[in-house]
A and B are shown apart, each in its own frame.
Chain A
Amino acid sequence: MPTELQMNLQNAVLILGYNNTRINDVKRIRETARNTLNAATILCKKSPTVEDKNTADFVIDVALNSDQKNIDNIMNAIKDISINVVAVLPFSDPGTQLGSKLALHLGLRGPDVNKVNTALDKYAYRQAEKNAQGYPRGYKPIFAEKIDSFEQLCAIHKQLNGKTFLKPTSEGNSRGCMNLSHVHSLENAWSEVRKYISSGVVAEELVSNSEEYSWDHVAGFSWVTEKKTTQNQYRAEIQQIVPAPLSDVETSLITNAGTFMSELAGSNHGACHNEVFYSEKCQSVQAVEPNLRPAGMRIWDLAALAYENFEPWKEWLLWTSQNNRQESFLNTLNQKCYAGLRMITAVKEGILQNIPEINLNTLSTEQVELIEIVWTKKPENSVTTVIKDNSDFIGYIIATSKDYDALSSFLDITTQKLALEVKIYDFFN
C-alpha cells in the first residue's frame, strides 16, 4: 500500500533545452514519456516562450550551464509542484552540462560530469583526443588550435598549407563553420567568424578526400548514418541515409571510433551523435565532434524506419530512467530497408508565394516509398539559394527503399522536382 506521500508524487522527466527548432521532438518526448513512463514532461530552458508552455506540461525558466544556482532553481521548482523526477534528458548542447550534474544530484543516469565538457567545447574534445592513451584501429586525431586574433589565423593557415577549417567551439547546426580553401581572402573569413571569438573559435586541419558519417547511439543500439553536405564553403548538411551503405569492415571502423569518442565524452551509454570523417583510401576515421544528445535532422526517425521494432525515443527514456529490459549495452538492430532524408533548396531567391499540395502516393515508385514531404518555409517567408546552414532550406523529404542506389537517386530527383513546384516571387521581375 503506497503511503500518502508516494501517491501525491507525480513522475516527471526533465528536458534540458532543445536545439534550434526541435520543439516537435519535445512534443514527441512528451508523448513517449506519458505512454512509457506515465510521466509528465518538464522543459527547462532560459526565457521559455508561449509555445514552450503549450508544448510541455510545465516549464522552468533556468539557464543551462552547470552553475549550482541553476540546480537549486530546478530543485525548488520541482518541490513547488511536488513531482518525482524519473529521468533527466539533455536535449540541447548546453543542456548536456547541466544535465550531467543534475542527473548525478538526483541519482539518475546521465553523462559523466568530469568528461562532459568535451561534448560542448570542440577544443576541449581535441585536447582529450590528443591526451588519449591510444586509439582504435584507423582512428587519426586532428591537429587543432584555438585562435584569438587575425595574425594567429594567418600563421596557422600557413602552417596547414592553406588547408584550414574554422569552427566556433560552441555552435551547432553548422553555424559559423568555414572551409578556408573556398573563401576569397582570410580577411573575409575573419570578419565572418569574429562574432564567435568571445566563446571560442578553433582552426583545424582540413580533412580532405573523406566522406562524412555519424555514429549514432542510444542505450546500446547503434548504427552509422551517411551524411552529405553542400559543396560550398559552409558545408551545411543536405542529406542523411540510415544505415550508411558500407562494408562490415568499414562499419566496424566507424563504430569503434564512435565508441571511443563517446567514452572520451563520457556518454555512459546514453544518446550520442558522433560525427566523423571516413577515408576509404586510407581506411582511416577522424572525429568531427561528439554530441551527447539525439541527432538532429530526424536521424532517429530514419533509424526507426530502417530497423525492425526499434523505437529510439522510447529506448532513450528507458535508459535515463533505468528501466531498460536488458543490462547489456551491446544490442543488435535488424535492418528492414534504407531510410533517407534530403533537404529541398529554393530554385531562386525571393519571397515564397505558394506551396502546392502534393499527394505522396503519386511520387512513390515501385522501389521507393515517399514517407513525408515537409515544408519548413511558409508563404511570405524569404528564401535563398545560398545555403549557409540548415535553416536556409525550404523543406525536406523522407523516403525508404530496400535498394540504396534507387533511394539515393530518388531523393535527388524528387527534391529537385518539388523545388520547381514551389512558386517564388522574385524581386527582379
Chain B
Amino acid sequence: MDTTDAQPTLNKINQMNQMELAKFLRKEISEEKLIILDFQYIQDEIECWWSKEKNNDNFQVLKFKFMNLLINSLHESDSYYFSNLGLNRSKIAAVCIKNIFRTDCHRLSLLVHESLSSLFQLTDIKYDYEEHKALFLKPSGEFYKDWGNGYGAITPHSDDLYENLNIDYLSLTICRDITKTPTSYIFPRDIVKNFNDIDLCKLLHLKAKFLSGKNVAILKERERNIMEYSEKYGLRFFLDFRIDNHTGERMQAVDPGEQYLIDMMRDNVSNFSQEQSIPETGTFLIVANHKVLHGRPQMNIDKSEIGNYTKHSCFIDTPRLLFRSKGPRNEINFYE
C-alpha cells in the first residue's frame, strides 16, 4: 500500500535519522494555523431569535434550538471547522469567531458559549476543586499574576498538564470586556525558532515535571514528555511557562542537565511578540490546547481601580466577563 500521502506512523518517525526528524518536526509545526471567522452575516438572526427566546428559562431547550439555528444558517465553509480542530489532517490549531452577537447579556453569552463548544466537540470537564466556568476579577485578584481570575499577566501555557486526562480543547466566550484585555497565544514554532537540529530532536524525549498552581485548591504533580506524536493528532506540546506565587516554576526538567532546553524556550516566549484575540462582546475563541499556548497580558486597567471592581463583582457589573470550557474531544471511545 502506498502511504506517502498518509500521516507517518510513530514507527516511521522513530526510524528517521536526526536530519530527517528535524526537518519533519519543523515542517509539521510550521503548518499549524489560527483561523479567524466573522459571523456578522448571522448576527441579526441571532439577536432577533434571542429577543424572542430570552424569557425561556429552560437552558437545555434553548441550547438545542440555538444549535439548530447555527447548523441551519451557517455557511458550510464555516461549519467545516467544527469537526476539524486540532487534528493532524487539518493542522488547524485554533479558531477565533467574531461578531456572533452584540447584546451584553451573560445568559446569551453562556448559551452561545455552550452551543459552540458542543459543536466543536468539546466535552466540558469540571473538577470539584476548581472553579472554572466564569472568569472575572475576583477579590484579592490584584495580588496575583498567572491566574485567570487575577489582574496580572498570564504567561503562555497549555491547561491542566498535571491532570491524568488530556484537555484537547479550551474555549472562551467574551460577554463583555470594557478593559479590552485580549487573550494572547503563541505557537510552538515560535518557541523553538532558534533551536538547532540536535536540540530540537532532544525535545521529543524531554521529560518535565508539572505542578498545579493557584487555580486549584490542592497541589497536583505529574511527570510527562513535553512533546508527543500520534497519527491522529500529529505533534502535540505539553508546555507551561507560568510561575506560581506559591509553587514556583510550573514546569521543570526532570533531568537538571536538560533544564537548559526549557530555559531556551522560556527566553523565546518572553521575547516573541505574541498574537492576540479580539476582546469584544460576541467573540468566541477555541484552541487545541496542545497545539498552541495561551496567555493574557496584564489587565488593561489602572491597578488602583481594581478594588472598586472586585468589591461588588457579579455578572452584571464586573468589567470583564468571560465564559470558559475545557475538556477532551467528544468522540466514540470504547475505552471508557
Contacts and interface: CB of A to CB of B under 8 A. Distances in A.
A331 interface: no
A54 B67 contact: no
B65 A24 contact: no
Given A40-B68, A80-B61, A374 B335 contact: yes
A359 B14 CA distance: 14
B245 interface: no
A80 B58 contact: yes
Interface string A53-72: 11101110000000000000
A367 interface: no
Contact of A59 (B60, B118, B333): B60
Interface in A161-216: none
Contacts of A298: 334
Contact of B330 (A54, A374, A376): A54
A359 B330 CA distance: 24
Interface bracket on B? 10 to 19
A54 B123 contact: yes
Given A10-B68, A40-B68, A81-B65, A53 B335 contact: no
A372 B58 contact: no
Interface in A332-383: 359, 372, 374-376
Contact of A28 (B61, B65, B332): B332
A53 B60 contact: yes
B67 A23 contact: no
Nearest to A80: B61
Interface string B43-74: 00000000000000010110011011000100
B58 A57 contact: no
Nearest to A48: B60
14 contacts: A10-B68, A23-B336, A24-B334, A27-B331, A40-B68, A54-B123, A57-B67, A58-B60, A80-B58, A81-B64, A81-B65, A82-B65, A359-B11, A376-B335
Given A57-B67, A298-B334, 13 more contacts: A10-B72, A27-B331, A28-B332, A40-B68, A54-B118, A54-B123, A57-B64, A59-B60, A81-B61, A82-B65, A372-B334, A375-B335, A376-B335
Interface of B: 11, 58, 60-61, 64-65, 67-68, 72, 118, 123-124, 330-336
Interface of A: 10, 21, 23-24, 27-28, 31, 40, 53-55, 57-59, 80-82, 298, 359, 372, 374-376
